[in-house]
Amino acid sequence: MSALSRFVAAVALLAFAGPILGADPLHARIDKQIAAGFGANAKHIAPRAGDDEFLRRVYLDLVGTTPTVAELNEFLADSAKDKRAKLIDKLLASPGHARRMAWHLDVMLMERGADSKVPRAAWEAYLVAAFAENKPYDALVRELLSADGSDPKTRPAAKFFLDRNLEPHAVTKDIGRIFLGRNMQCAQCHDHPTVDDYKQADYYGIQAFLNRSFLFPNANVPTAVIAEKAEGDVSFMSVFDKNKKLNSTAPRMPGGKPIEEPKAEKGKEYKVAPAANVKPVPTYSRREQLAGAVTSAENKAFARNAANRVWAMMMGRGIVHPVDVDHGNNRPSHPELLNELAAEFVAHKYDMKWLVREIALSDVYQRSSETPAGLDDPPADRYLVAIMKPLTPEQFAYAAMQATGHTDAERAALGAKWTEAQLDARLAPRLGPFRAMLGRGGDATADTFSSTLDQTLFLKYGSAVRGLLTPRAGNLTDRLNKITNPDAVADELFAAVFSRRPTADERKDVADALKNTTDRGKTINEMVWALVASAEFRFNH
């Protein structure tokens, strides 16, 4: 396809998929589509979440931590009708949102693998900067898939490839999973036996973009960069094929047309010819075609998967679920909604912040997670009740620091001129143990969550949590120690940790505990721990 025809096609697609003039905003259409799927359960849907429930949820989802007591009080006291929308906009505009999205994208892209060639700090800084400027998602992915690591300025973007050592099967599989929502691992050896959509030729079509690329000088060098040869094709043979026929394919996206490749003129295959200790540069680069092919509007799987992933981040499960198993035998729970989200995401130029905002504004997002009476074991894919999402290790760490007042104490220590960046620089170093312990094997979703013995013991006896409980000026235990009225203790405790008011029963529990204690400080410490270790805190409910 020529550049001109590509441009025409893109314009045509854009026109086709453009925002529907005069239509309801997306969040309203989301609610229509979801409501259409209620069926017989329509009368059992959970009510709108209370302000406190909404506040905690939206803080965790948008900025990755819980609100301060002051923020809670302010929000609860606010009588404005549009206070939720205002809060959403405030959070989306805050530095915390870029940090939260960077955490999310880091795990999505790197899946908590070991950092090898691109250091964590540079990578996180790159992602934070991208979200701070709300870089369109397609542009971000183009950077990830085109950087070769040779320019120090763009080297962090090459982490996706470099830290996978550009291992052909790893990168092929992960491009399929992470950007197209298709886990085609089986197709490495044969067409998927039960999934008609996953073809071996599709798998190798992706691999063909990269089969000429390699790490220079070699994968063992931490500063290695991506280099490419001018020749070489993928070949594959089904393990089921008795005739052992060897196949090949030009680079192409699954279901798409092969890239038309220029015929290399003899002797002019290279800009820089291969030689010992020389990084070759081919005249025509297959790898350079990859970023465009993946993010092309023709490659519908890209926007569809991206929209589905943002949905899953906010809602606790994908419309296609799991998010990397998009195929005919695993239907979306709401196919039209997914199409609409994808089309709107493209129409809004892959604006992640916009998509997050629309979802956050929807009724379905703002539904309570309390199971209404008469609804037993609601089917998760109907969204009758908000799904409780386990906090990610980063959310847990930041929420625990906020809940225990560690964040407050650090902020106070910075003085009146504190900045978010300064505060974050003090908090981020404490992430390590939480990531290492709670983040094993990627991030758990609501239906893959478990807490292993070591994780629970880490919360129970480990120093990372207990270290936050020691009284210091301005932290929660310090504040509670200074409050004499038991009800006021309960109010501050529940506001700080659970972002809500205590119930009468809870106030009584606190009062009883304080009445019977011989060591008030210790009892306060125990209560803070109990709240932090509770299910209510562990989940974004």
Partner 1 sequence: MLPCNYACNTADHATTRRAFLGSAVGATAALGMAGFANPAHAAELKKAQKRVLVIFLEGGVSQLETWDPKPNTDTGGPFKAIQTSVAGTSICELLPLSAKQMHRIALVRSLNSQTDDHGVGHNVMLTGRKMEPGIVYPHLGAVSARLLGSNANALPGHIRILPKGGSGFNGADATFLGPKFASVGLGDGKPPADLFRPGNLTATEDDERDAFRKRLDQRFAKSRKSAATDAYTESFTQAERVVKQAAVFDVDKEPAKIADKYGRHDFGRHMLLARRLLEAGVTYVKVSHSNYDTHHENFDFHIEQLGEFDRPFAALLDDLADRGMLDSTLVVVMSEMGRTPRINDRYGRDHWGRAWSVALAGAGIKGGAVVGKTNANGTAIADREVWSGHLFHTYLQAVGLDSTKNFYPNERPVPIADPKAAAITEVLA
Is residue 452 involved in binding partner 1 (CB under 8 A)? yes
Is residue 235 involved in binding partner 1 (CB under 8 A)? no
> Measured between alpha carbons, how far is 334 from 351 in angstroms, rounded to an integer?
22
Is the CA virtual torsion 74, 79, 80, 86 positive or negative? positive
Burial class (CB in 10 A: 0-12, 13-18, 19+), 111: middle
Which of 76, 170, 414, 428 lies at the binding interface for partner 1 (CB under 8 A)? 170
Tokens of 21: 């003039």
Residue closer to partner 1 by CB (options 181, 282) is 181
Burial class (CB in 10 A: 0-12, 13-18, 19+), 263: exposed
Is residue 451 involved in binding partner 1 (CB under 8 A)? yes
Is residue 526 involved in binding partner 1 (CB under 8 A)? yes
Which of 458, 471, 476, 491 lies at the binding interface for partner 1 (CB under 8 A)? 458
Q: Are 22 and 510 a contacting pair, CB within 8 Å?
A: no
| Three-state SS at 330 | strand
Residue closer to partner 1 by CB (options 259, 480) is 480
Is residue 509 involved in binding partner 1 (CB under 8 A)? yes
Is residue 529 involved in binding partner 1 (CB under 8 A)? yes
Is residue 460 involved in binding partner 1 (CB under 8 A)? yes
Which of 51, 89, 167, 298 lies at the binding interface for partner 1 (CB under 8 A)? 167
> Measured between alpha carbons, how far is 382 from 369 in angstroms, rounded to an integer?
13
Tokens of 246: 């060897």
Is residue 183 involved in binding partner 1 (CB under 8 A)? yes
Residue closer to partner 1 by CB (options 321, 357) is 321
Backbone angles phi, psi at 367, to 5 degrees: -75, 155
In the complex, least distance from residue 503 CB atom to partner 1, rounded to whole angstroms:
8
How many residues contact partner 1, by CB under 8 A?
Answer: 64
DSSP H or E stretch at residue 88: helix 83-93
Q: Are 99 and 424 a contacting pair, CB within 8 Å?
A: yes
Residue closer to partner 1 by CB (options 184, 225) is 184
Q: CA–CA distance from 524 to each of 461, 514, 517, 530 (Å)?
A: 17, 8, 10, 10
Is residue 450 involved in binding partner 1 (CB under 8 A)? yes
Backbone angles phi, psi at 540, to 5 degrees: -90, 105
Is residue 533 involved in binding partner 1 (CB under 8 A)? yes
Q: Tokens 């970023």 map to which residue? A: 291
Q: Which residues touch 152 (CB under 8 Å, ≥6 apart)?
A: none
Is residue 541 involved in binding partner 1 (CB under 8 A)? yes
> Measured between alpha carbons, how far is 306 from 352 in angstroms, rounded to an integer?
9
Residue closer to partner 1 by CB (options 415, 461) is 461
Q: CA–CA distance from 294 to each of 142, 252, 439, 525 (Å)?
A: 8, 9, 29, 52
Residue closer to partner 1 by CB (options 39, 267) is 39
Per-residue b/e over 140-159, b at no fewer than 16 CB within 10 Å?
bbbbbbbbbbeeeeebbbbb
In the complex, least distance from residue 251 CB atom to partner 1, rounded to whole angstroms:
20
Which of 19, 258, 335, 441 lies at the binding interface for partner 1 (CB under 8 A)? 441
Residue closer to partner 1 by CB (options 74, 506) is 506
DSSP annotation of 188 = G
Backbone angles phi, psi at 483, to 5 degrees: -95, 130
Which of 235, 247, 248, 330 lies at the binding interface for partner 1 (CB under 8 A)? 330
Residue closer to partner 1 by CB (options 122, 511) is 511
In the complex, least distance from residue 153 CB atom to partner 1, rounded to whole angstroms:
32
Site string for partner 1, 364-403 (x = CB under 8 A): -----xxx-------xxx-----xx-x-------------
Is residue 108 involved in binding partner 1 (CB under 8 A)? no
In the complex, least distance from residue 109 CB atom to partner 1, rounded to whole angstroms:
18
Backbone angles phi, psi at 485, to 5 degrees: -70, 120
Residue closer to partner 1 by CB (options 149, 318) is 318
Is residue 536 involved in binding partner 1 (CB under 8 A)? yes
Backbone angles phi, psi at 413, to 5 degrees: -65, -25
Which of 9, 85, 139, 186 lies at the binding interface for partner 1 (CB under 8 A)? 186
Is residue 188 involved in binding partner 1 (CB under 8 A)? yes
Q: Tokens 């009724």 map to which residue? A: 363
In 371-523 the beta strands, taken as DSSP E runs, fall at 389-390
Tokens of 414: 């910075």
In the complex, least distance from residue 440 CB atom to partner 1, rounded to whole angstroms:
5
Taking CB under 8 A as the criterion, which residues in 270-309 touch partner 1? none
Residue closer to partner 1 by CB (options 9, 186) is 186
Residue closer to partner 1 by CB (options 86, 460) is 460
Q: Are 411 and 418 a contacting pair, CB within 8 Å?
A: yes
> Measured between alpha carbons, how far is 405 from 472 in angstroms, rounded to an integer?
9
Residue closer to partner 1 by CB (options 430, 440) is 440
Where helices occur in 94-220 by DSSP H, the ranges are 95-110, 120-132, 137-146, 159-162, 168-174, 180, 200-210
Is residue 169 involved in binding partner 1 (CB under 8 A)? yes
Q: Are 365 and 313 a contacting pair, CB within 8 Å?
A: no
Is residue 37 involved in binding partner 1 (CB under 8 A)? no
In the complex, least distance from residue 431 CB atom to partner 1, rounded to whole angstroms:
18
Q: Which residues bind partner 1 (CB under 8 A)?
A: 167, 169-170, 173, 183, 185-186, 188, 193-194, 321-322, 325, 329-330, 369-371, 379-381, 387-388, 390, 440-441, 444, 446-458, 460-463, 466, 503, 505-506, 509, 513, 522-523, 526-527, 529-531, 533-536, 538-539, 541
